[in-house]
């Protein structure tokens, strides 16, 4: 593999020189299955991926509908195996829109199932899940078990893809219980992944998203999305998803032309895409992106 210049454990920095210093990551293996034409702040698209995932993993498409009570709150979703270990974690902070679609290609392993999907909105504003309780003041949480096409009677099956469309309701689940009624919080499978973004003053108001991909397994383990950049310097952190000594690809996308669609950065369409690579150390995976380096942000990282 081709590494970014000067990479050591847990730290990646974008160089301000030649493109040759960047990791050249082949994401075509999941780009076609992720590129369903979904905008980040729109409802479910009629387009569907036409390329199935490899047999080892399934792709996941999560559509949220009517989430108006949670527009300004952090939203997190977790794909959890039969042993109660988190295999994928996604964060949207803040949720930003009532109808949102996120794609996590190759995020569901075909072993240690059945899986379930836990997701929650940070009503309390603590940044971590607390508990359900009072509707007005406590976090709201839900579970879909088992994780499969949902609602089953309204989803057209697509080979290699699990599709969930969730319409907001108040049928909450205590996701710190597993099975229901037994206190047993889901367990992390590793350490945190963090993208430190700097010099983003020229991208204010634009969507930014990162995916973290296990380079050896070609599996997405984490996603973090910010619907609108509001600060020149900020961090995008996903806890508990990387393993020490493992190489990861960090794929960063910015909707720089602001049209709400994925326009392949490699075509010069106006959107931006970076590909980085790093190795998780004892402090997890810590990657730095200089967002001012737009001249080299021409990588096709796949639709959000």
- The pLDDT tens digits of the residues spanning 215-246 come to 999 999 999 999 999 999 999 999 999 999 99
pLDDT of residue 133: 66
At residue 255 the predicted structure's pLDDT band, cuts being 50, 70 and 90, is very high
pLDDT of residue 80: 98
Indicate the range of 31-40, 143-152, 295-304 predicted with least confidence: 31-40
Do 143 and 117 form a contact (C-beta atoms < 8 A)?
Answer: yes
CA distance 104 to 51: 14
Parallel, antiparallel or unpaired: strands 161-167 and 219-226? unpaired
| Chain centroid, CA 223 distance in Å | 2
pLDDT of residue 153: 87
CA distance 277 to 14: 10
Please count the CA atoms within 13 angstroms of the CA of 248 that sit on its side-chain side.
Answer: 34
**Mean pLDDT (whole number) for 267-287:** 96
**Mean pLDDT (whole number) for 299-304:** 93
In this structure, the number of other CB atoms found within 10 A of the CB of residue 192 comes to 18
**Mean pLDDT (whole number) for 259-287:** 96
pLDDT of residue 131: 81
Per residue in 20-49, pLDDT (tens digit) is 332 333 333 333 333 333 333 333 333 444
At residue 134 the predicted structure's pLDDT band, cuts being 50, 70 and 90, is low
CA distance 135 to 266: 46
In this structure, the number of other CB atoms found within 10 A of the CB of residue 106 comes to 25
* Nearest residue to 286 (alpha-carbon basis) of 210, 231, 217, 218: 210
Average pLDDT, the chain: 85
Do 304 and 38 form a contact (C-beta atoms < 8 A)?
Answer: yes
**Mean pLDDT (whole number) for 73-87:** 98
Over the Cα atoms of the chain, what is R_g?
18
* pLDDT greater than 60 at residue 176: yes
| Chain centroid, CA 46 distance in Å | 21
Q: Largest alpha-carbon pair distance within the chain?
A: 56
* Nearest residue to 214 (alpha-carbon basis) of 130, 140, 107: 107
Cis peptide before 94 (omega within 30 of 0): yes
């Amino acid at each position: 593999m081709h590494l970014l210049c000067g990479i050591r454990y847990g730290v990646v920095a974008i160089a301000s020189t030649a493109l040759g210093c960047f990791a050249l990551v082949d994401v075509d293996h999941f780009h076609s299955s992720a590129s369903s034409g979904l905008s980040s702040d729109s409802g479910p698209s009629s387009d569907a991926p036409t390329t199935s995932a490899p047999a080892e993993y399934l792709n996941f498409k999560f559509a949220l509908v009517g989430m108006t009570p949670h527009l300004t709150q952090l939203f997190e979703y977790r794909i959890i195996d039969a042993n109660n270990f988190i295999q994928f974690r996604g964060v949207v902070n803040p949720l930003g829109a009532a109808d949102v679609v996120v794609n996590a290609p190759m995020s569901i392993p075909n072993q240690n199932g059945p899986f379930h999907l836990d997701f929650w909105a940070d009503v309390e504003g603590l940044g971590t899940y607390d508990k359900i309780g009072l509707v007005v003041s406590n976090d709201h949480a839900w579970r879909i078990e088992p994780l499969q096409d949902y609602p089953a009677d309204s989803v057209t099956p697509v080979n290699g893809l699990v599709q969930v469309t969730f319409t907001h309701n108040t049928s909450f689940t205590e996701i710190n219980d597993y099975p229901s009624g037994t206190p047993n919080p889901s367990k992390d499978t590793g350490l945190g992944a963090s993208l430190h973004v700097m010099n983003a003053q020229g991208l204010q108001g634009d969507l930014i998203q990162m995916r973290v991909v296990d380079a050896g397994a070609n599996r997405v383990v984490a996603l973090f999305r910010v619907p609108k950049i509001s600060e020149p310097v900020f961090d995008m952190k996903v806890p508990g998803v990387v393993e020490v000594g493992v190489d990861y690809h960090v794929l960063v996308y910015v909707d720089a032309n602001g049209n709400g669609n994925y326009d392949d950065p490699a075509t010069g369409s106006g959107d931006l895409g970076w590909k980085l690579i790093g190795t998780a150390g004892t402090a997890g995976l810590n990657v730095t992106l200089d967002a001012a380096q737009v001249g080299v942000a021409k990588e096709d990282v796949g639709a959000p």
